[in-house]
Amino acid sequence: MDLQVDNRAETYGHLADYLQDELARLDVVVECEIRRISQAGMLPDDEAHGGLLDMAMTPGEALQLLNEAPFHLRLSDDDLALIDQLDRRIASRLSATRDLGVELPVHRLQDQFGLDELDLRLIMAALAPHLDRKYLRLYGYLHDDLTRQYITPDLLIRLCCRNETERLAAYERLIGAMGIWRSFVVRPPASEALQHTSVLLQPLRLSDRIIHYLLGLEWRYTGPLASVRFHPAGDEPPPIYANAGLHDRLERRAFASVLGEGPVVWLLHGPSGSGKTLHARHVARSLGRSLLEWDVSLAPADDVAFAELVKQLLFEAKLANAVPAFDKAHRLAGEDGARDRRLVRLIELLADWDGIAFLFGDEEVRPPSMPTGVRWMSDGIPLPGLDQSRLLWQRFAERRMPIGEEVSAALAAKFRFPPGLIAQAVESALHAEPADATAGAGSDNAAARRLEAAARSSMSRRISGKAVRLESGFRWSDLILPEDTLALLMQAAMRLNHRHTVMHRWGFDAKLPYGRGISMLFTGPPGTGKTMSAMVMGNEMGVDVYRVDLSRVVSKYIGETEKNLGEIFDQARYGGSILFFDEADALFGKRSEVKDAHDKYANMETSYLLQKMEEYDGLTILATNFKQNLDDAFLRRIHYVVRFPFPDAAQRERLWRSCLPPAMPVGELDIPELARKFELAGGPIKNIVLTAAYLAAGEGAPVSMRHIKDGIVQEYKKTGKVLLKEQLSWLEEVSRAG
């Protein structure tokens, strides 16, 4: 081949320039191989055979084969000199390009995987058909079979290896799929004719991922890896407004870790939005590396598929010079042996990783066993304190929705959000009403309302799957209860309102490592005001009330009930919300004697609830119609037991009057006699008045005793109660009179 080689050290201005040089070198090698086998009579003459295969072999050809040296490239002195020139030219231009600060994909492959010259030659020969289709026909010609237009280990060895040492090394790479080559190549299904032939002749190809990488093409992750998030090292991570001391400590530990030997598995745990990813990005950037984050809980249940995905993620981290991070790692452990096994398997796979790998979790976990050589580190990222939270609200809002210290302090006291959720709430508030985001007079109050609404909306979205927010405008004055019952409710509300002073300012938080929250038991007949009282307490304290939907909490699957309860308490703490478990005896009844596995796990659920109630800083309310059905262990740990007795006649009269809106047109109603004759709680009374109102509205008339009578009859039928003859007679009499 007549090729002029310029050995001047110039740079590669574009990836295409480098690939062109590699193909030029390959052309020389291919030509040498074609000349060699043509001179040896190894291939049929094109003119004699018209490009068809010679299906016969002469004795002379067979003897020629026996005299052939091993299948590696044999070059003449002139060919060798030319190829050496090309090699020097490519190496020189690559070096000059790197010196200029330009990094080509081949540079990164060399750095990350320690590839040598043989590796690069093999890769480029395998890549060639993806750059120019002519190599498909050329490779078919070299195979002595124009139908086999693909690469094989045999062909790559013949084109890329100059001696027996290189031949054996290439054999180990291509056939044994040694080390990183397991991720570089794939083996397409061979035809039936080739399945029983030598492994040297089996089809081979570069993986799609490596092809895209070498050509600088964008790669889109699919399947479970579609959730992968890449945080480039060159991007400046957002500043860390809270936990600055933790950030400094993490960086010191990171630098100390890279000086040691072996992999480091580093768990960062804390609530969602606490800044685990942000802290890890800062650590990775300080090491000059990117961060590659994947939600490991999305991996399939199959252990083999799980391991393959983890390996693929680690391979991607190598390609990107990134620190791998596995989010939701806590979901791999703690509930059953299978999930513990998956966490152990993840750590085992990380044992082959060189450097730091992060695990993110909502809570601290630790695998039951640790592979030899793996160093385990764990750091918690707590929720910000009151002062930190106030600072976060101000700084996230200051650029586009400035708020004063009073507003930020109120938001910090009401919503104990991690930094991520505060940022989301601010962004949501801006999108909700962007027009007056910087309004003049009264803007502080407007901003406060928008931010609080956004924070409440965020809370509702996170917890809505298992709990429903209760909204009302009820205040203390709306409650019609005995004085001692009302006093207990007010005392509990006062205790919750002043917990910051008592716990933090007066130092009781150091005396009480747990059990800082308040638990209450509401017991009494249906309709006596238990739910309404919970809503009043929420309004008076300025916190949301969530009624837990037990049908979405209790699960027949072992461990699912505890998981659901844990999620409810974890989300509720962000807003200091009141958790209201209505008909709690259905879930938290008396613990049973352990007779089978079902009893065992039912008792575990009960114990778990007790634990979460003690850990929760807010108010938990258990409501039941039947106190005797609750486990005694609950009663011992309840701070307030509030009894809601059935209302007497005087209270019933107040309830009747409170249910009549001032704007509703009303005829002559005998409220005192209704209260005396019908022993009804507040809930049924409200239903009766509402039914009467709709009947009257349909007639276009004021509400009269006739409408009230129809409402009472309907309510009694619904509840299965029986109207006494005396009661029914009186109702008919007053209805006719009305």
**Spatial separation of the C-alpha atoms in residues 31 and 379, rounded to whole Å:** 61
- Residue 536 has what pLDDT? 92
Residue 318 half-sphere exposure toward CB, CA atoms < 13 A: 22
pLDDT band for position 542 (50/70/90)?
confident
- Residue 640 has what pLDDT? 87
pLDDT band for position 326 (50/70/90)?
very high
Cα–Cα distances (Å) from 137 to 148, 151, 157, 166, 299, in that order, read: 9, 11, 18, 26, 41
Q: Give 128's DSSP letter.
A: G
pLDDT at 437 over 60: no
Q: Give 665's DSSP letter.
A: -
> What residues contact 375, with CB distance under 8 A and at least 6 apart?
257, 260, 262, 263, 264, 265
CA angle 127, 181, 33 (to 5 degrees): 45
Across the range 440-465, mean pLDDT stands at 73
pLDDT at 446 over 70: yes
Q: What is the bridge-based pairing of β-strands 229-231 and 578-581?
A: unpaired
pLDDT band for position 34 (50/70/90)?
confident
Structure tokens at 81: 């000199």
Q: What type of residue sits at position 188?
A: P
- Residue 586 has what pLDDT? 62
**Spatial separation of the C-alpha atoms in residues 86 and 75, rounded to whole Å:** 14
> What residues contact 119, with CB distance under 8 A and at least 6 apart?
113, 173
Cα–Cα distances (Å) from 62 to 33, 38, 48, in that order, read: 19, 15, 20
242 vs 36, higher pLDDT:
36
Across the range 248-271, mean pLDDT stands at 77
The distance in angstroms from the start CA to the end CA of the chain is 117
Structure tokens at 715: 């309510």
Burial bucket for residue 340 (CB in 10 Å: 0-12, 13-18, 19+): middle
pLDDT at 455 over 50: yes
DSSP 49-92: HTT-------HHHHHHHHTPPPSS----HHHHHHHHHHHHHHHH
DSSP 304-357: HHHHHHHHHHHHHHHHTTEEEEEETGGGGSSSSHHHHHHHHHHHHHHTT--SEE
> What residues contact 314, with CB distance under 8 A and at least 6 apart?
324, 349, 350, 352, 353
135 vs 38, higher pLDDT:
135
pLDDT band for position 292 (50/70/90)?
very high
- Number of other residues whose CB lies within 10 A of the CB of residue 230: 14
pLDDT at 1 over 50: no
> What tens digit of pLDDT does each residue of 226-244 get?
889 999 988 877 777 666 6
pLDDT at 453 over 60: yes
- Residue 291 has what pLDDT? 95
Q: Which residues pair with 177 in a beta bridge?
A: none
738 vs 610, higher pLDDT:
610
> What tens digit of pLDDT does each residue of 485-523 get?
999 999 888 887 776 677 667 766 666 655 567 888 898
Query: Residue for token digits 């200091």?
Result: 576
- Residue 443 has what pLDDT? 56
Cβ pair 530, 623 in contact under 8 A: yes
**Spatial separation of the C-alpha atoms in residues 397 and 251, rounded to whole Å:** 28
> What's the gap between Cα 82 and its chain centre?
55
Burial bucket for residue 69 (CB in 10 Å: 0-12, 13-18, 19+): exposed
- Residue 656 has what pLDDT? 92
- Residue 45 has what pLDDT? 46
> What tens digit of pLDDT does each residue of 202-228 get?
888 898 999 999 998 888 888 888 889
> What tens digit of pLDDT does each residue of 595-645 get?
444 444 445 666 777 778 877 878 889 888 876 666 666 677 788 889 999
Cβ pair 369, 341 in contact under 8 A: no
Across the range 234-256, mean pLDDT stands at 74
Q: Which residues pair with 327 in a beta bridge?
A: 295
Q: Give 627's DSSP letter.
A: G
Q: Give 619's DSSP letter.
A: E
Q: Phi first, then psi: what are they for 290, rounded to 5°? A: -85, 180
- Tell me the percentage of the chain whose pLDDT exceeds 90: 17
Structure tokens at 369: 């066993």
**Spatial separation of the C-alpha atoms in residues 442 and 654, rounded to whole Å:** 40
> What residues contact 575, with CB distance under 8 A and at least 6 apart?
414, 415, 416, 417, 455, 456, 459, 543, 544
pLDDT at 441 over 90: no
Residue 143 half-sphere exposure toward CB, CA atoms < 13 A: 21
Across the range 650-673, mean pLDDT stands at 90
CA angle 329, 331, 334 (to 5 degrees): 110
Query: Residue for token digits 């005299």?
Result: 67
Across the range 3-12, mean pLDDT stands at 62
**Spatial separation of the C-alpha atoms in residues 543 and 536, rounded to whole Å:** 10
**Spatial separation of the C-alpha atoms in residues 413 and 386, rounded to whole Å:** 7
Structure tokens at 346: 């993840």
> What residues contact 703, with CB distance under 8 A and at least 6 apart?
660, 664, 665, 666, 667, 669, 689, 692, 693, 696
> What residues contact 662, with CB distance under 8 A and at least 6 apart?
none
Output b/e per residue, 169-185; b: 16+ Cβ within 10 A.
bbbebbbeeeebbebbb
Q: What type of residue sits at position 320?
A: A
**pLDDT averaged over every residue in the chain:** 80
Q: Among 98, 109, 87, which Cα is nearest to 28's? A: 87
Output b/e per residue, 684-703; b: 16+ Cβ within 10 A.
bbbbbbebbbebbeeeeeeb
8 vs 498, higher pLDDT:
498
> What tens digit of pLDDT does each residue of 40-77 get?
555 444 444 444 444 456 676 666 666 665 555 667 78
Structure tokens at 602: 């039912």
Q: Phi first, then psi: what are they for 468, rounded to 5°? A: -120, 130
- Residue 625 has what pLDDT? 80
> What residues contact 577, with CB distance under 8 A and at least 6 apart?
459, 463, 543, 544, 545, 546, 618
pTM: 0.70
Lowest mean pLDDT among 32-41, 44-53, 408-417: 44-53
Across the range 169-181, mean pLDDT stands at 77
> What residues contact 321, with CB distance under 8 A and at least 6 apart?
108, 111, 112, 233, 289, 290
DSSP 459-498: HHHHHTTTEEEE-----GGG----HHHHHHHHHHHHHHHT
Cα–Cα distances (Å) from 724 to 79, 361, 686, 716, 731, in that order, read: 116, 62, 21, 11, 11
* Alpha helical stretches, state H, 555-703: 560-575, 597-615, 632-637, 649-658, 671-677, 682-699
Structure tokens at 480: 């019609």
**Spatial separation of the C-alpha atoms in residues 497 and 502, rounded to whole Å:** 10
Percent of residues in the chain assigned helix, strand, coil, to nearest 5: 55, 10, 35
- Number of other residues whose CB lies within 10 A of the CB of residue 506: 11
Across the range 652-670, mean pLDDT stands at 90
Across the range 578-585, mean pLDDT stands at 83
Radius of gyration of the chain, Cα coordinates, nearest whole angstrom: 38
**Spatial separation of the C-alpha atoms in residues 414 and 455, rounded to whole Å:** 10
Structure tokens at 411: 């938001």
